[in-house]
Chain A
Amino acid sequence: MASSTVLIPPRHYLNDGYGIASWLLTRDHKRIALLYLATVTLFFFVGGAMAVMIRLDLATPAGDLVTDETYNKLFTMHGVLMVFFFLIPAIPAVLGNFLVPIMIGAKDLAFPKLNLFSWYIYVAGGLFTLYALVTGGVDTGWTFYTPFSTVSSTTNVIPTALGIFITGFSSILTGLNFIVTIHRMRAPGLTWFRMPLFLWSTYATSLINVLGTPVIAITLLLVAAERVFHFGFFDPRLGGDPVLFQHLFWFYSHPAVYIMVLPAMGVVSELVAAGCRKPVFGYPFVAFASLAIAVLGFLVWGHHMFVAGESVYSALIFSMLSFLVAIPSAVKVFNWTATMYKGAVSWETPMLYAYGFIGLFTIGGLTGLFLAAVGLDVHVTDTYFIVAHFHYIMVGGTIMGYLGGLHYWWPKISGRLYNEGLAKLSAGIIFIGFNLTFFPQFVLGYMGMPRRYHAYPPDFQVLNVLSSAGASILGVGYLIPMVYLMWSLRYGRLAGSNPWGAVGLEWTTTSPPPTENFTETPVVTWEAYDYHAPAEGHVA
C-alpha cells in the first residue's frame, strides 16, 4: 500500500488548465472520461428515481401510488434512461475512454476531437429524452413495439426516439475511435496477445457498436417518420408488418445486451488478475470468447419473438444459436475461477465486486438458458422471470463490473484512495440489496406475475414487498459510494502510482497521469499479467 511519503505529481491532467472551458473544450481522453462519468451518473440517478417509484407502487397490490398511465411512463423512462444513457455508455465511455489509450501506451485516442464530439452528441440525445420526460413522458416501453408506438400511443414517442437516435451516433463514433486506436496506436512491443483483456472486450464491444447501432438508428427513425407521415411500414392496416419492427429492433437490442456486459467482463478479468496476483487462466480463450460473444450475439435476436408468430423452424434455430452463447460466457466464468485457484486471493473492494459479478452473472446467464428453450420461454414470456433475468445480467453484471472497475481505477483517476471500510460495506449492501430485490422476481415470474402491470393479485404481495425492501437497500448501497468517492477527491490519502501492486501500463505512470499519459512512449517486452510466476526451479 501507499506510504505517507507518496507525493502528488507536480503536473498531471487534472491541473493542466482550470475553468469551465478547459473541460468543455478538452480533447484529453481522461477529461472526456470524467465528463461522461458526471453525465452517466446523472442519468443513473434519474433512471434510479423511476425505479424507486415503480417499486413503491408495487409494494401494495392495488397499485395506489400512481395511475396506470403514469406507471407505464415510469417503466418506459426507467428502461430508456438506464439502457441507452447509462448501461450502454457507462463502462466504454468512462473507463474505456480513460484506459484504452493508457493501456496501449498511447498519448490519446486516434481521434480526440471526435471523442469530445461524441460526448456532445450523447448530451444532445440525453437532452431530447429529458425534454420528452418533462413534457409528459412516453408509455411504449423501452422496446417501442409497433403499431402501438406508431399509431396508438399519444405520448412523446418522437422526441424520445430521436434522443436515442442521436445518442446512437455517440456509441458508433466511440466504438470507431476505439477500434482504430487499438489497431493503430499500440506502443512498440504491445502485440495483440500482450494486451490486457479489458482491451479485447472493449474491442469486441466496439464491433457491436459499429455494426448494430446504425440498425436501431434507422429503425427508430422509421418509427418517428411513420408517426408523422403514416408510411405504413409497421401498420397492418396499411399493409405493413409489426413483427418486422421487432426483427429490426432486436437485431440491435439483443447484441446491445453484450454491449453492456462485455466491457464488465473485461473489467472483471483485470480485477481477478490483480486480486489474485496471477495471469488470467487461458488468456487466448478469454480473449476469443469476447469476440465469439460479439459474433454470436448477432445471431440470436429471434429468441425475443418465440411468441410473435415466428415459425417453428426459426424458433428452433434461434433457440440453438442462443444456447451457443453460453459456451464463450461459461469459458470466461470457468477461467476466472481457475485464475483464483491457488491465487493470493484478495478481499479488497474491487475484488468483492468481481466475486459479486461472477456469482450474479452466472445466475443471470443460466436463467438465460431457460429463456433460450422455446417451451419454457413461452411459459415465462412477459413475466417477472424475464425482468429478474435481465436485471441479473445488467445490474448484477454490468453495474457490479462498472463499480468494481471504478473502485479499482479510482486511485489512478483521482490520485487518491477512498475509504476502504465504507467501500467494503457498500459493496456488501449492494450485493444483499440486489439479491433481495431481484431473486423474488424469478419466483413471481414463474408463478405467472406479468411484467409492466401496476397492480397485481394480493397473493403476490409478500414477494413484491421483499423486492421493494431490497430495492431500498440497493438504493442506499448506490448512494454511499457517491459520498465517499467525492470525499476522497479532497481528503483521501494519496495513492501513489501503483497502490494495488498491479501490473499493466496504466500502473507505470503517475496517479493522476500527465496529460500525455507517459513522459516517454513505453516499450513493452513482457506478456499480459506478468505477475511473477513461481520462482524458477520451484515446483508449483
Chain B
Amino acid sequence: MSPEAAHHPPVQGLAHQFDSLEQQTEATTLGMWVFLVTEVLFFGGLFMVYTVYRTWYPDAFAAASHTLDITLGTINTAVLITSSLTMALAVHSAQLGQRKLIMIFLLATMALGGVFLGIKGVEYYSKFVEHHVPGPSFHFEEPQFAAHAQIFFSLYFLMTGLHALHMIIGFGIMLFMLGWTWKGGITADYYGPIEIAGLYWHFVDIVWIFLFPLLYLLGGRY
C-alpha cells in the first residue's frame, strides 16, 4: 500500500488510478464506446462480404431468404427491442439508486434475451432438418441457386451465430451486474457499470436491427 492512499478517504467503487468517480465514469464510458466502434468494424467485415455476394447473386439470395421463417424473425425482433426497453429502465433505476428495480429489470432483460435465443434455436433446428446448413449434406430445393444459396446460409449462420455469441456474453455481463447490485455496489452516485452494460446490450440489439431486414426481408416478398 502506498502511503499516499492515506491522503484520500476511500470512495466506494473508485479505482486507484483515477482521481474521482466522475473521471472514472467518463473513462469507462469512453472505453465502452471505443470497444463498440471495434465491434462495428468486426461485424463490418461480414456486412462487406454480404454486400458483395448479395450484389452478385440477388436471385439466389432472395430464394434462400424466402426459406427463413419471417414470423419467428419478426417476433424475435419485437422481443429484442423490448429487452432494450427493460435495459434502459434498468439504467434509469440505477440512476435513481433503486436497487430492487435494477435487479428486476436486469432479470427481465435476461429473460427476453433467453426467449430470443430459444426462438433462434428453433429456427436453427428447422434449418438443420431442411439440410440448409452449409457443408457436405447441404441441399437446396431450387438446384440452379444451390451453390450461391450456400453462401447465403453461410452468412446467415455466421452473422446470427456471432450475434448470439454476443448475447451470451451479454448474459455474463448482466449476471455480474446483478451480483454487483445485490451487494449494494450500485448507487445513485455510482451507476456507471450498469450504464455501460446497457450500451453493450443496445449495441447487440442494433446489430439485429440490421440483420433482420438483410437476412429475412429480401426479394420483394412482402
A interface residues, Cβ below 8 angstroms from B: 101, 106-112, 172, 176-177, 179-181, 183-185, 210-215, 217-219, 222, 225, 229-233, 238-241, 244, 247-248, 514-516, 519, 521
CB of B37 within 8 A of CB of A211, answer: yes
CB of B48 within 8 A of CB of A230, answer: no
CB of B41 within 8 A of CB of A211, answer: yes
User: Shortest Cβ distance from B11 into chain A, in angstroms?
Assistant: 15
CB of B41 within 8 A of CB of A183, answer: no
A101 to chain B: closest residue by CB:
B17
Query: Is B169 part of the contact surface with A, judged by Cβ < 8 Å?
Result: no
Chain A residues closer than 8 Å to B39, beta-carbon distance: 214
One of B77-85, B100-108, B143-151, B202-210 contacting the partner = B143-151
Chain B residues closer than 8 Å to A181, beta-carbon distance: 27
CB of B151 within 8 A of CB of A232, answer: yes
Chain B residues closer than 8 Å to A244, beta-carbon distance: 49, 52
CB of B48 within 8 A of CB of A248, answer: yes
Chain B interface extent, by class: 35 or more
CB of A519 within 8 A of CB of B31, answer: no
Given A238-B150, A244-B52; A213-B38 close (CB under 8 Å): yes
A516 to chain B: closest residue by CB:
B2
CB of A232 within 8 A of CB of B154, answer: yes
Given A222-B49, A239-B57; A230-B2 close (CB under 8 Å): no
CB of A238 within 8 A of CB of B16, answer: no
CB of B150 within 8 A of CB of A214, answer: no
Q: Which of B17, B45, B148, B150 has the most chain A CB atoms inside 10 A of its CB?
A: B17
CB of B151 within 8 A of CB of A218, answer: no
CB of B46 within 8 A of CB of A519, answer: no
CB of B17 within 8 A of CB of A110, answer: yes
A113 to chain B: closest residue by CB:
B15
| Bound form: Cα–Cα A239–B147 in Å | 7
Interface SS of A by simple majority: helix
User: Shortest Cβ distance from A117 into chain B, in angstroms?
Assistant: 13
Given A185-B17, A230-B135; A215-B34 close (CB under 8 Å): no
| Bound form: Cα–Cα A244–B151 in Å | 14
User: Shortest Cβ distance from A158 into chain B, in angstroms?
Assistant: 16
Per the 8 Å Cβ criterion, residues 32-69 of B in contact with A are 34-35, 37-39, 41-46, 48-49, 52-53, 56-57
CB of A231 within 8 A of CB of B38, answer: no
Per the 8 Å Cβ criterion, residues 127-175 of B in contact with A are 134-136, 147-148, 150-151, 154, 158
A–B pairs, 24, beta carbons within 8 Å: A101-B17, A106-B17, A107-B16, A110-B27, A111-B31, A183-B30, A184-B26, A185-B27, A210-B38, A211-B37, A211-B38, A213-B38, A214-B44, A218-B43, A222-B49, A231-B151, A231-B154, A232-B147, A232-B150, A232-B154, A239-B57, A239-B150, A241-B56, A514-B2
Query: Is B23 part of the contact surface with A, judged by Cβ < 8 Å?
Result: yes
Chain B residues closer than 8 Å to A212, beta-carbon distance: 41
Chain B residues closer than 8 Å to A225, beta-carbon distance: 158
| Bound form: Cα–Cα A515–B23 in Å | 21
CB of B34 within 8 A of CB of A180, answer: yes
User: Shortest Cβ distance from B13 into chain A, in angstroms?
Assistant: 14
The residue from A101, A108, A110, A238 contacting B151, defined by CB atoms under 8 A apart: A238
CB of A176 within 8 A of CB of B38, answer: yes
CB of B30 within 8 A of CB of A231, answer: no
CB of A238 within 8 A of CB of B147, answer: yes
CB of A218 within 8 A of CB of B52, answer: no
Chain A residues closer than 8 Å to B147, beta-carbon distance: 232, 238-239
Further 11 A-B residue pairs, CB within 8 A, beyond A232-B147, A248-B45, A515-B2: A101-B17, A108-B17, A172-B38, A176-B38, A211-B38, A212-B41, A215-B45, A217-B42, A219-B45, A238-B150, A239-B56
Chain B residues closer than 8 Å to A185, beta-carbon distance: 17-18, 23, 27
CB of A230 within 8 A of CB of B134, answer: yes
User: Shortest Cβ distance from B176 into chain A, in angstroms?
Assistant: 14
Interface bits B110-127 vs A (CB < 8 Å: 1, else 0) = 000000000000000000
B149 to chain A: closest residue by CB:
A239
CB of B34 within 8 A of CB of A210, answer: yes
User: Shortest Cβ distance from A241 into chain B, in angstroms?
Assistant: 7
Chain A residues closer than 8 Å to B41, beta-carbon distance: 210-212, 214-215
A111 to chain B: closest residue by CB:
B31
Chain A residues closer than 8 Å to B34, beta-carbon distance: 176, 179-180, 210
| Bound form: Cα–Cα A179–B33 in Å | 11
The residue from B23, B52, B57, B134 contacting A231, defined by CB atoms under 8 A apart: B134
CB of B45 within 8 A of CB of A214, answer: yes
Interface bits B5-27 vs A (CB < 8 Å: 1, else 0) = 00000000001111100010011
Chain B residues closer than 8 Å to A239, beta-carbon distance: 53, 56-57, 147-148, 150-151
CB of A180 within 8 A of CB of B38, answer: no
The residue from A184, A231, A515 contacting B150, defined by CB atoms under 8 A apart: A231
User: Shortest Cβ distance from A169 into chain B, in angstroms?
Assistant: 9
| Bound form: Cα–Cα A210–B33 in Å | 11
| Bound form: Cα–Cα A101–B16 in Å | 13
CB of B17 within 8 A of CB of A184, answer: no
Given A180-B30, A239-B148, A240-B151; A215-B35 close (CB under 8 Å): no
Chain B residues closer than 8 Å to A109, beta-carbon distance: 17
| Bound form: Cα–Cα A107–B151 in Å | 51
Chain B residues closer than 8 Å to A247, beta-carbon distance: 48
User: Shortest Cβ distance from B191 into chain A, in angstroms?
Assistant: 18
